[in-house]
Structure formats: C-alpha cells, structure tokens
Amino acid sequence: MKIIKQEDKDWEVKEGYSKKIYLAEEDLGIPGALIQQIKIKSGKTARAHHHKIQTEIFYFLNNNGYWNINGKKFIPDRGDVLVIEPDDIHEVVNNMNEDYLYLAFKYNYNKEDIFWD
C-alpha cells in the first residue's frame, strides 16, 4: 500500500502551469507511467503542444477553464475524464478567477516527448 499526501509534494513551476508529481515509473514499477496534479493559475495558458508516443488521461478536480484540442473547444466538468492520444494538439486555458486543477495519468511517458505547436 502507498499513501501519497499532497502536502508532501512540491509544485514544479513550468511555462504556463505547475505540476506535482505523485508517482513516477520507479514508484509504480511500470515503465513510462506518471501520475501528477496540474495547476493552471487564473488567466494563464498552457500553450498548444502534442506528444508523439504518450497518452494522457485527465481527471478534473474543478471546472475553471477550457481546452482547445485539434482545433475544437472542450469545456470539461468536474469529475469528467479526458483522454489525449498521441498527436492530439492540446492547449489549456484558465479563464476563471481561481486555479484550474486536474490529475494527469500518463503512460508511455518520456520527458522529451513534447512538441510545441
């Protein structure tokens, strides 16, 4: 059994977003697996990008933003699940007054597999 307390993890600040890595492949014993929480601050955008090999599964903790995916706007509700497959171009926009929070479950993860569009 593993229990991960969010207060024990630090935010890593990136361009347009921050992330807390909860479990990586060495924690799970699964190559290419990653579980993290993502935060987009009010008024910020995680700019458009895609991945060649990884798949991302997102679970939404609130509904403080929207996504542009392959040229279409998607507004997820809290509790929704979104699957971003390889080559899906995606951008995340927080147009609300509070942080946009969601969980990301990744497989075939490789930190070099990000291509900015």
- Whether 4 is in a domain gets the answer no
Over the Cα atoms of the chain, what is R_g? Answer: 14
Judge contact between 33 and 104, C-beta under 8 A: no
Q: In the structure, what pLDDT confidence band is assigned to residue 30 with cuts at 50, 70 and 90? A: very high
Q: Is 32 part of a structural domain of the chain? A: yes
Looking at residue 52, what is its pLDDT?
98
SS3 per residue for 71-117:
CEEECCCCCCEEEECCCCCEEEECCCCCCEEEEEEEECCCCCCCEEC
Q: Which CATH number belongs to the domain containing residue 87 in this structure?
A: 2.60.120.10
pLDDT band at 22 (very low <50, low <70, confident <90, very high): very high
H/E run at residue 21: strand 18-24
Phi, psi of 26 (to 5 degrees): -70, -25
User: Closest by alpha carbon to 18, among 117, 94, 106, 108?
Assistant: 94
End-to-end CA distance of the chain: 40
Length of the chain measured in residues: 117
40 within a domain of the structure (yes/no): yes
- pLDDT digit string (tens) for 88-110? 999 999 999 999 999 999 999 99
Q: How many folded domains does the chain comprise?
A: 1
Q: Is the residue at 97 inside a domain? A: yes
Per-residue pLDDT tens digits for 52-81: 999 999 999 999 999 999 999 999 999 999
